[in-house]
Structure 1
Amino acid sequence: MWRNIASNALTFLVVVVFLFGGMLIWAQREYETSGPLTEPICLEVPRGTNMTRVSEDLAAQNAVSSGMLFRLGADYADKTQELKAGSYLVPEGASMRQIVEIVTRGGASTCGTEVVYRIGVTNAEVEVRELDPATGRFVEIAEFDPAAEEPPQPFLDVRARADTRYRVTLAEGVTSWQVIEELKSVDVLEGEVEVPAEGSLAPDSYEVSVGDTRASLVERMRRAQDIILADEWANRADGLPLESPTEALILASIVEKETGGAEERPQVASVFINRLRQGMRLQTDPTVIYGITNGEGTLGRGIRQSELRAETPYNTYVIDGLPPTPIANPGRASIRAALNPDETEYLFFVARTLDPADGHLFAETLAEHNENVAAYRRLEAERDSQ
């Protein structure tokens, strides 16, 4: 009898082990296989929450087949204590393993609501936007000029949320003074900072957090520009009349202010490179304007003849060669154009139409250039007569 009992017990134990092993195999497959999501979602992980609450949220949104299995898998992978607060884009069909990796790896949030402080050449604006998980694109909620308007209610609502992300975006061609002035109104930043050297900041989009200092952000911009300049200088064309990265930065800033068309930058750069090679003065209006404003805002009017004749360090109608410093903060494209210009014989250019977006007409000879200028003057006369 004891032998039969022992045999039955052993059989039962084998069955239990077999079933347990089968459950483990099923659980592992379920944890790693594609999940039930039919479209992407934005998963918010508040500060102070835990994996249990996250699993409940995922189950409620039908992102996982089992909240309990999600928690057990995260615990088995030693990920439970690595949960990071933020807003995360969970893609269609994401497995439980993938979701655990998304909410524990940290870094910048990948979806949710964002406030973007845009610093432009002529104005600054604040944009409130939210990522649409279905399309992967940001949808604008509100936009306003902080210098002229009161913040709208959507901005105030978003600023009150703990999971809102913040970003400061610099347009190509802004001056260092403009950047520092506008950073003063970015209310999530703290502290003061001096105006850095002209041209030393990289135009880009920078994610910031509440309580970051303005000085630390400016230092990030400086480091980014140093890296860009060093990289482009190392890959420059041979035989350029530029003796240092600083001179390259000066020329790049002039190219930046002369054209907003990416395809034109290498051509515009070629004009200035050709002039430098021939010992011709650059004769470019943006440098004259910088000599008048010192980069503190826009001129807001045309250049006077007396200003074109004035002997200032930035008047390239009077001085030879490059001005002493950059006249703005150029982006990578303009730096690259200055160091890898098109190979042309162009020495002149003038606006093609009254719309700056239409680009320029280039010329190799003064006679051809004068014809292009005359055509432009006729367009001006037609406009003024209307």
Structure 2
Amino acid sequence: MMSRRNWFLVAALGLAAVIVLWSFLGGWYGSGPLKKDTHFIVPNGASLAVVADRLEKQGVIGSANGFTLRARVFGGGSAIKAGEFAIPAHASASRVMAIISSDEVIRRFVTVPEGMPSIMVHERLMAQQQLTGDIAVPDEGSVLPDSYAFGDGESREAVLRRMQAAMSRTLAELWDKRADGLVVKTPEQAIILASIVEKETGKPSERRMVAGLYSNRLRIGMPLQADPTIIYPITKGKALGRRILESEIRAVNDYNTYSMAGLPKYPITNPGRASIEAVLHPAETGALYMVADGTGGHAFASTLAEHNQNVKKWFAIRRARGEI
């Protein structure tokens, strides 16, 4: 029979064990010391011990060693993930571990719309304060318009490389599936023509028709006469903000398709996937002319006489609107 002294000793040990266990559990499931919501970055390849040390220094947890020990006991083998995470105020160590081993990564995006010229891509990347480093203005036509995720502190160069790699992959994929008998003979020519198609129509449904019209002109040696190719050398693709001058129409340079036949020497913007597809699968049409039709689209014509009638209709629309 257990003596009273031994019974008290066992009871004391049991109580101590309960207290230790309660403290151990409380250190995992109880409220943490973080006073306000914060963001926490888990570096690529960081170990649990390194992350725990950073969490302690940032005031997210009370003890790096205690967090590491409890994570190994209660964490269930969950692997931490690299990225930026939102940690709520007073998050328990258990909640912190769940967050940094989940897919709750904060995702920031920079968007390049279809038809954005490279000078504006450069401006957009430089305006992202979470990015680091400097970049040069990328080559025109080298960036695929899309939305790109990036992490806090990532370099602008790394983001730009992803944009350009996406264009290279997309162009290679679409070029392999191109139609037969195209007037463009290289992927580079396809990008140049797609950049013109991108700037010449605001209606997605017209892209293949515009591509067909310009393909027809190229095939017979007729100047493309695309207004955006006049504007590009002046503004690098930004809006002109005024009417084109007669002297600018006559200007001879690497872009102006009024003063030369054939394609410009370089693209005039970054075309989207749909415009590239349109150039590689143009509409089968006899159209050689187009003019605005008042709806945001164009009226197409195969003969100059028909085109002149469409121009008259367009001027009548503009007069009715009080534009001329």
What TM-score do you get using the length of structure 2 for normalisation?
0.70
Alignment partner, residue 265 of structure 1: 207
Q: Does 1:214 align with 2:156?
A: yes
Q: Tell me the distance in 1 between the aligned counterparts of 2:199 and 2:323.
A: 29
Alignment partner, residue 180 of structure 2: 238
Q: Tell me the distance in 2 between the aligned counterparts of 1:367 and 1:240.
A: 27
Q: Tell me the distance in 1 between the aligned counterparts of 2:160 and 2:319.
A: 45
The partner residue of 2:222 within 259, 268, 280 is 280
Unmatched 5+ stretches in structure 2: 1-37, 42-50, 53-71, 87-96
Alignment partner, residue 333 of structure 1: 274
Q: Does 1:320 align with 2:258?
A: no
Q: Is the 8 A contact 2:85 2:99 kept in 1?
A: no
| 3-state SS, counterpart of residue 206 of structure 1 | strand
Q: Tell me the distance in 1 between the aligned counterparts of 2:245 and 2:191.
A: 27
Q: Is the 8 A contact 1:351 1:376 kept in 2?
A: yes
TM-superposed deviation, 1:310: 1.9
TM-superposed deviation, 1:291: 2.4
Q: Is the 8 A contact 1:84 1:105 kept in 2?
A: no
Q: Tell me the distance in 2 between the aligned counterparts of 1:85 and 1:176.
A: 28
Q: Tell me the distance in 2 between the aligned counterparts of 1:45 and 1:193.
A: 27
Distance change (3 Å), C-alpha of 1:83 and 1:228 = closer
Q: Tell me the distance in 1 between the aligned counterparts of 2:39 and 2:151.
A: 16
Alignment partner, residue 34 of structure 2: none
Q: Deviations over 1:158-177 (max 9, x none)?
A: xxxxx643110000101111
AA at the equivalent of 1:347: L
Q: Is the 8 A contact 2:83 2:151 kept in 1?
A: no
TM-superposed deviation, 1:182: 2.3
In the TM superposition, what are the counterparts of 1:51-62 in structure 2 within 5 Å? none
Alignment partner, residue 195 of structure 1: 137
In the TM superposition, what are the counterparts of 1:75-224 in structure 2 within 5 Å? 75=76, 78=77, 80-82=78-80, 104=101, 106=103, 109=104, 164-224=106-166
Distance change (3 Å), C-alpha of 1:374 and 1:189 = same
TM-superposed deviation, 1:312: 2.2
Query: How many residues are treated as equivalent by the alignment?
Result: 249
Alignment partner, residue 381 of structure 1: 319
Q: Tell me the distance in 1 between the aligned counterparts of 2:211 and 2:272.
A: 14
Q: Which has the higher contact order (CA 8 A, sep 6+)?
A: 2
| 3-state SS, counterpart of residue 184 of structure 1 | helix
Q: Tell me the distance in 2 between the aligned counterparts of 1:322 and 1:249.
A: 11
Decide which structure has the larger Cα Rg and report it.
Answer: 2
The partner residue of 2:304 within 337, 354, 366 is 366
Q: Tell me the distance in 1 between the aligned counterparts of 2:107 and 2:242.
A: 38
Q: Is the 8 A contact 2:84 2:152 kept in 1?
A: no
Alignment partner, residue 4 of structure 1: none
Alignment partner, residue 291 of structure 1: 233
RMSD: 2.7
What TM-score do you get using the length of structure 1 for normalisation?
0.59
Q: Is the 8 A contact 2:212 2:282 kept in 1?
A: yes
Q: Tell me the distance in 1 between the aligned counterparts of 2:323 and 2:200.
A: 27
Distance change (3 Å), C-alpha of 1:226 and 1:81 = closer
Q: Is the 8 A contact 1:346 1:362 kept in 2?
A: yes
Q: Deviations over 1:186-230 (max 9, x none)?
A: 100111001111000010000011111111111111100001111
Is the strand fraction higher in 1 or 2?
Answer: 1
Q: Is the 8 A contact 1:281 1:320 kept in 2?
A: yes
Q: Deviations over 1:111-168 (max 9, x none)?
A: xxxxxxxxxxxxxxxxxxxxxxxxxxxxxxxxxxxxxxxxxxxxxxxxxxxx643110
Alignment partner, residue 243 of structure 2: 302
Unmatched 5+ stretches in structure 1: 1-43, 50-70, 89-99, 110-162
